[in-house]
Structure 1
């Protein structure tokens, strides 16, 4: 039978101290391992958002859509049918009315002549005759252009229009129309040796011999008949 050795109290304390000294390194090692594991661990996830309990309309997040509001979408079945007005077809055919009366006489259709009329105190007169020498009826309307010349140069201003009424004159073949030219011969001006005449509504110029004083002149519109009558 083994003998129990009873150590006195000081020896017991020494044994407890030795045991604590032996356990201290192991404890420190475990603490170091735990500290290293904490430093290597990933950041913890944020805690979940608290779920509100109660009135859902008051605590709903801002991102939730309001299901009570109707969503309107365009639909071809509900859109009103577009009404496009049908263009009205109009006839482009126009009935052109025939020209009233014969066409205007051209310069080439006419023979021009100047006939001196009897004078009066302070005035000189001349008749401009227009004879249709073509086989086609034509017409004259309005005023001829008249200007006195001397040596081929203008001697005075062109004749002014008298303002008398204008009428169309139809000229069959060999028919004649005339216009009266009046000169206020009271001015002290040279005499012309010719006169330049332009047929009404034409541009061609015809020069005929005429001795007129280079004063103010007035021309009447054409009328039917010759100035000799």
Structure 2
């Protein structure tokens, strides 16, 4: 009997794709998670980092203030705001000081005296008096203004030649200072000049002056008047303090 040969071809097994799909889905999940991490890391540093730094700085300032016991000024108030008010204070002080100086100069303060200026005065010479080897001549100051002013103390007096140069030393003071003289408009005060008559002393006379220059008391401006016959002799040239009237 002939033996039958089995020629049937075996069927191949069908592949199952499910495990591969699971691997692909897992890989996609991992990539999504990594993308989220990358997005978080690429966030602008100013969003969270700046806030953390500001909070740390504020905490540091607060701890320092608590440690030292000092009050921390608000950041919105600049440190220069305090100094901005100081110039106003200095300006006010300067204004008060200027007002006080002006009041002292013009005599507008209560009880202050108004000093006669050279613009208010007229300078002249009185009558010369010669006796017992002495020569006296009053230097007269007349108030030509419309207001009352005062003179107190000694005038400064010197002799000038025709070129305006001084002849010898200025007059020295003689006697004590008198009380203040109040000059109403048109009133006069005088200061007596004193020297020696020629020949009274072995000291020769100075050369004859052309003019007499005088600085009224408390004044830095001078006035001049023709010297006339006045001449300094014997090494004596003196001036007394001002007193009321035109003198001798």
In which range does the TM-score fall when normalised by the shorter chain?
0.5 to 0.7
- Cα-Cα RMSD: 3.1
Which residue of 225, 230, 233 maps to 1:207?
Answer: 225
User: Which residue number in structure 2 is paired with residue 188 of structure 1?
Assistant: 204
User: Which residue number in structure 2 is paired with residue 168 of structure 1?
Assistant: 180
Q: Higher helix share goes to which structure?
A: 2
Q: Residues 142-190 of structure 1, C-alpha deviation per residue, up to 9 Å, x if partnerless?
A: 2112122343443332101225124322111111111111113433223
CA contact (8 A) 2:125 2:137 kept: yes
Helix, strand or coil at the partner of 2:131:
coil
User: Which residue number in structure 1 is paired with residue 156 of structure 2?
Assistant: 145
- Partners of 1:143 and 1:181 lie apart in 2 by 11
Helix, strand or coil at the partner of 2:119:
helix
Structure 1 gaps of 5+ residues are 1-73, 85-89
- Please tell me whether Structure 1 or Structure 2 has the larger radius of gyration of its CA atoms: 1
- Partners of 1:77 and 1:159 lie apart in 2 by 74
Structure 2 gaps of 5+ residues are 1-61, 73-88, 104-108
Instruction: Assess, with a 3 A threshold, how the Cα gap between structure 1 residues 79 and 227 changes in structure 2: closer, same or farther.
Output: same
Cα shift at 1:193? 4.2
Q: What is the number of equivalent residue pairs in this alignment?
A: 150
CA contact (8 A) 1:112 1:129 kept: yes
Helix, strand or coil at the partner of 1:126:
strand
Instruction: Assess, with a 3 A threshold, how the Cα gap between structure 1 residues 78 and 150 changes in structure 2: closer, same or farther.
Output: closer
Pair 1:179 & 2:195 matched = no
TM-score, normalisation: structure 2:
0.51
Which residue of 202, 214, 231 maps to 1:197?
Answer: 214
Helix, strand or coil at the partner of 2:136:
strand
- Partners of 1:132 and 1:80 lie apart in 2 by 72
